[in-house]
């Protein structure tokens, strides 16, 4: 073919290239991977074709609002694996995929350079000229002129040495490849990614009951009382202030202190028994204040770079307005009464679960969505969702997608301490963060295994952990009747193992350790059922440690994500050691898991994981105490006294000063 400007003839060929095993993806693209603004998505895929054909591959992506696709050439790795990466710079829904096609130009040059017979070279120079002509048809301007010259010279030249030199012109080959028809091209499925703002990945939560924040014992607290505590909470470094339900509390079958089934006069009831004559899920408990007071609290928090997170519990008290307005939304027992919540032998007669199998489910779903919409309108962008695992998966998938469509900054935390597959399904459906089993993982082996799963398994693409040492429902075994040092140990672990963590605030600060009995995880005098007065002036040790750890978290990017976590061997099972890295920022953490005794031992550091493979000497600076130590090689000595500090948080630098 002599016409250098002929039209491309390969665009209509049947697909012959192959794209397989595109990563990352969740369930073949059924669910979105998760990132936050500024992060990379590193995409890899197997790209190949039959026989000895060479291929090229391109990563394609587009973000929210984009009408065209971006493209970037992928780099070959090994064994037909290709890779490229792009940065997500906006909140919202993204798509990405891989295109692969046969690269006849690369195959031609490889074969051409192996030939030595002059006549054979001459023939294959003409083959190359014809292939370049296909690229010319797609080129314009100077690129077109350059390719025309290259093709003509290959056609006209007869000297073997000069033909080899022409074939070795990398810049012209790349130019021709860029404009070549994508022969036998195939494209993978478009895979989804959801991109959150940074707080979706990195956050420090403080939970408190506004009704217990009064400075005066016995007086019901208000939003104004809580606002007066904002500076104290912010001084500890917490950026999310999480409030249990703030709605009117039902009076019918109200629970008394310590979950007594008989309430005494003056008992305030459980905030999770939502709804009374004053209103339901969009109303505020009158003793807390007004909607205007709440908006003032939200604004005051934002002035301090904090956010208010609200608990959304989709259940009602017997006197919630929905019970009479929408009786079809609740199940009936054979005697005609509404079915209350129960987990035999436990009965929760102050709470009615919602029947999600009602025939009126469309109206129900829409009403529940309006609850989220209402509080978003009041300035709330973070929701902790109570027991989402007891509601249908389809509902959460619809609701989260629906809310995010209009409010993409919204963050959802799943409170689902349940079976692993259920927790993971909720995360796949869109929950931004998830509660974890950290609360019950205590030994070095348990912590190592669990956090390796969270940070190294494929589930990390969608399951973002938020670790809590305690909650109003859970006084874990390792804190029951234990000294304040036990609380310090769990705080140090949560704040450094996970990019997002939280504490059930005043109770944790003050080392609340009294269980209701020997078998349950309930607190004695649980704040869920009564007003508590917390003398936070006594919360010195935990408040000081929280402030220090949260400051370290803010100043060191290594602690603001999870995937770099690496564990380092120690010869004492009471000492756990691990590191995190972000660029040049490397932190090495050692924690004494024994709150009662001094523990010591040797750590065998993985120098490669620390970026120190080429260094014999290195320095660690304890960011908690300010002490510095020169270390050598991989084996070094540790000693931790829990009465002084539960952990070392070392900043690592190569060499000795």
Kindly report which listed range (159-173, 224-238, 256-270) carries the lowest average pLDDT score.
159-173
- Mean pLDDT across 125-144: 91
Contacts 24+ apart (CB under 8 A), 323-332: 323/275, 323/352, 326/360, 326/363, 326/364, 326/367, 328/358, 328/359, 328/360, 329/354, 329/355, 329/358, 329/360, 329/364, 330/354, 330/355, 331/355
Where do we find the tokens 């992928």?
74
**Are residues 503 and 521 both part of a single domain?**
yes
pLDDT single digits (tens) 449-472: 999 999 999 999 999 999 999 999
Same domain, 601 and 577: yes
* 553 lies in the same domain as 574: no
CATH number at residue 639: 2.60.40.1180
pLDDT tens-digit readout, 66-114: 999 999 999 999 999 999 999 999 999 999 999 999 999 988 898 888 8
111: its two tokens: 């074969």
Q: Show the 3-state SS of 490-541.
A: HHHHHHHHCCEEEEEHHHHHCCCCCECCCCCCCECCCCCCCCCCCCHHHCHH
Are residues 224 and 191 part of one domain? no
**Sign of the four-CA dihedral 140, 141, 146, 149:** positive
Contact 64, 88 (CB under 8 A): no
Strand-pairing partners, residue 75, are 83
Claim to verify: residue 241 and residue 209 sit in the same structural domain: yes
Active site residue 386: yes
Residue 27 lies in a domain: yes
Q: Determine the Cα–Cα distance for residues 629 and 648; give it in Å rounded to an integer.
A: 11
pLDDT value of position 615: 77
Domain presence at residue 324: no
Judge whether 415 counts as a catalytic residue: yes
* pLDDT at residue number 6: 35
Encode pLDDT of 168-179 as tens digits.
888 999 999 899
Task: List, for residues 347-385, the tens digit of each pLDDT value.
Answer: 889 999 999 999 999 999 999 999 999 999 999 999 999
- For 563, half-sphere exposure in the C-beta direction (CA atoms, 13 angstrom radius) is 14
- The pLDDT of residue 11 is 52
Q: Give the burial class of 401: count Cβ atoms within 10 A of its Cβ; 0-12 exposed, 13-18 middle, 19 or more buried.
A: middle
Q: What is the mean pLDDT of residues 636-643?
A: 97
Q: Is pLDDT above 50 for 639?
A: yes
Mean pLDDT of the chain: 94
> What mean pLDDT comes out for the span 495-522?
96
- For range 421-445, the mean pLDDT: 98
In a domain, 136, yes or no: yes
Query: 560, 579, 608: which is the final residue of a domain?
Result: 560
Span 559-583, mean pLDDT? 98
Residues 494 and 555 in one domain: yes
Q: What is the mean pLDDT of residues 592-613?
A: 96
- Predicted pLDDT of residue 7: 34
212 lies in the same domain as 188: no
Residues 189 and 204 in one domain: no
Residue 272 counted as domain residue? no
Do 493 and 607 share a structural domain? no
User: Tokens in use for 186?
Assistant: 């195939």
The predicted model gives 588-607 an average pLDDT of: 98
Last residue of a domain, one of 517, 534, 560: 560
Query: pLDDT tier at 13 (50, 70, 90 boundaries)?
Result: low
Q: Are residues 363 and 461 in the same domain?
A: yes
- C-alpha–C-alpha distance, residues 331 and 338, integer Å: 6
Quickly state the pLDDT bin for 343 (edges 50, 70, 90). confident
The tokens for 230 are 């904002």
* pLDDT tens sequence across 299-308: 999 999 999 9
CA–CA dist 99, 185 (Å, integer): 7
Distance CA 583, CA 589 (A): 17
Q: pTM value?
A: 0.93
For the chain, helix, strand, coil in percent to 5 are: 35, 25, 40
User: Which pLDDT does position 159 carry in this prediction?
Assistant: 87
pLDDT score for 2: 36
Give 183's pLDDT tier (boundaries 50, 70, 90).
Answer: confident
Average pLDDT of the residues in 623-640: 96
Please tell me the total count of domains within the chain: 3
**pLDDT tier at 535, thresholds 50, 70, 90:** very high
Q: Are 474 and 537 in contact (CB under 8 A)?
A: no
Boundary residue ending a domain (180, 195, 210): 195
Question: 263 in a domain, yes or no?
Answer: no
**Which 3 state secondary structure label does DSSP give 376?**
helix
**pLDDT range class, residue 4, cuts 50, 70, 90:** very low
pLDDT at 278: 97
The CATH number given to whatever domain includes residue 236 is 3.20.20.80
Q: Give the pLDDT band (50/70/90) at residue 118.
A: confident
Q: Are residues 190 and 222 in the same domain?
A: no
**Cα 137 to the center of its chain, rounded Å:** 47
103 burial via Cβ count (<10 Å: 0-12, 13-18, 19+): buried
Out of 130, 386, 509, 521, the active site residue is 386
CA–CA separation, 411 vs 375, rounded Å? 13
Q: What angle do CA 292, 293, 299 make, to 5 degrees?
A: 90
Is residue 172 located within the same domain as residue 213? no
The answer as to whether 481 is a domain residue is yes
What's the confidence (pLDDT) of residue 5? 34
Domain that holds residue 31: 18-195
How far is it, in rounded angstroms, from Cα 491 to Cα 478? 12
Give residue 3's pLDDT.
Answer: 36
12 pLDDT above the threshold of 60: no
Q: With beta carbons less than 8 A apart as the criterion, state whether 14 and 144 touch.
A: no
Catalytic residue among 58, 225, 319, 415: 415
In this predicted structure, the answer to whether residue 64 has a pLDDT above a threshold of 50 is yes
Q: Contact 451/489 with Cβ under 8 angstroms? A: no
Paired strand residues for 502 = 205
Q: Is the pLDDT of residue 448 over 70?
A: yes
Q: 570 pairs with which residues across the strands?
A: 603
């Amino acid at each position: 073919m002599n016409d250098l400007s002929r039209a491309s003839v390969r665009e209509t060929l049947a697909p012959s290239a192959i794209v397989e095993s595109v990563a990352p993806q969740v369930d073949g693209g059924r669910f979105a991977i998760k990132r936050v603004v500024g992060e990379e998505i590193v995409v890899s895929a197997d790209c190949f074709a039959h026989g000895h054909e060479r291929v090229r591959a391109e990563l394609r992506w587009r973000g929210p609002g984009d009408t065209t696709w971006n493209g970037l050439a992928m780099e070959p790795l090994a064994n037909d694996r290709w890779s490229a990466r792009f940065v997500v710079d906006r909140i919202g829904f993204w798509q990405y995929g891989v295109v692969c096609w046969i690269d006849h130009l690369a195959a031609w040059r490889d074969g051409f350079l192996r030939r030595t017979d002059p006549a054979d070279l001459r023939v294959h120079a003409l083959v190359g000229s014809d292939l370049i002509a296909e690229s010319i048809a797609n080129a314009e301007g100077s690129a077109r002129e350059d390719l025309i010259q290259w093709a003509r010279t290959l056609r006209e030249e007869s000297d073997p040495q000069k033909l080899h030199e022409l074939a070795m012109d990398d810049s012209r080959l790349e130019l021709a490849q860029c404009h070549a028809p994508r022969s036998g091209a195939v494209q993978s499925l478009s895979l989804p990614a959801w991109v959150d703002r940074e707080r979706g990945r990195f956050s420090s939560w403080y939970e408190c009951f506004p009704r217990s924040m009064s400075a005066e014992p016995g007086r019901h607290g208000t939003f104004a009382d809580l606002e007066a505590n904002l500076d104290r909470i912010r001084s500890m470094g917490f950026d999310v202030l999480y409030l249990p339900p703030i709605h009117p509390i039902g009076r019918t079958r109200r629970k008394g202190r310590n979950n007594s089934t008989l309430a005494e006069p003056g008992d305030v009831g459980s905030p999770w028994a939502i709804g009374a004559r004053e209103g339901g899920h969009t109303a505020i408990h009158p003793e807390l204040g007004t909607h205007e007071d709440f908006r003032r609290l939200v604004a005051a928090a934002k002035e301090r770079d904090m956010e208010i997170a609200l608990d959304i519990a989709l259940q009602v008290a017997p006197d919630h307005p929905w019970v009479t307005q929408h009786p079809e939304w609740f199940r009936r027992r054979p005697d005609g009464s509404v079915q209350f919540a129960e987990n035999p032998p436990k009965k929760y007669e102050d709470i009615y679960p919602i029947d999600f199998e009602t025939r009126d489910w469309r109206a129900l779903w829409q009403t529940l969505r309006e609850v989220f919409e209402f509080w978003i309108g009041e300035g709330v962008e973070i929701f902790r969702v109570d027991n989402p695992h007891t509601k249908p998966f389809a509902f959460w998938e619809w609701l989260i997608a629906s809310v995010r469509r209009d409010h993409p900054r919204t963050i959802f935390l799943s409170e689902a301490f349940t079976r692993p597959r259920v927790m993971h399904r909720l995360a796949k459906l869109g929950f931004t963060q998830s509660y974890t089993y950290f609360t019950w993982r205590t030994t070095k082996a348990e912590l190592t295994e669990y956090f390796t799963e969270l940070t190294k398994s494929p589930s990390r693409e969608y399951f973002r952990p938020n670790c809590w040492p305690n909650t109003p429902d859970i006084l874990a075994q390792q804190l029951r009747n234990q000294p304040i040092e036990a609380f310090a140990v769990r705080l140090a672990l949560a704040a450094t193992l996970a990019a997002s963590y939280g504490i059930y605030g005043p109770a944790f600060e003050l080392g609340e350790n009294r269980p209701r009995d020997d078998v349950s995880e309930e607190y004695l005098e649980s704040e869920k059922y009564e007003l508590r007065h917390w003398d936070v002036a006594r919360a010195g040790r935990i408040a000081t440690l929280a402030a220090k750890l949260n400051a370290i978290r803010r100043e060191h990017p290594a602690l603001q994500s999870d995937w770099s976590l690496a564990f380092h061997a120690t010869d004492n099972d009471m000492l756990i050691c691990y590191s995190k890295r972000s660029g040049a920022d490397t932190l090495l953490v050692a924690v004494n898991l024994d709150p009662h005794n001094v523990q010591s031992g040797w750590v065998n550091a993985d120098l490669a994981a620390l970026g120190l493979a080429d260094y014999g000497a290195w320095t660690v600076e304890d960011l908690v105490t300010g002490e510095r130590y020169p270390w050598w090689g991989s084996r070094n000595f540790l000693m931790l006294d829990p009465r002084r500090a539960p952990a070392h948080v070392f900043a690592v630098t190569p060499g000795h000063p």
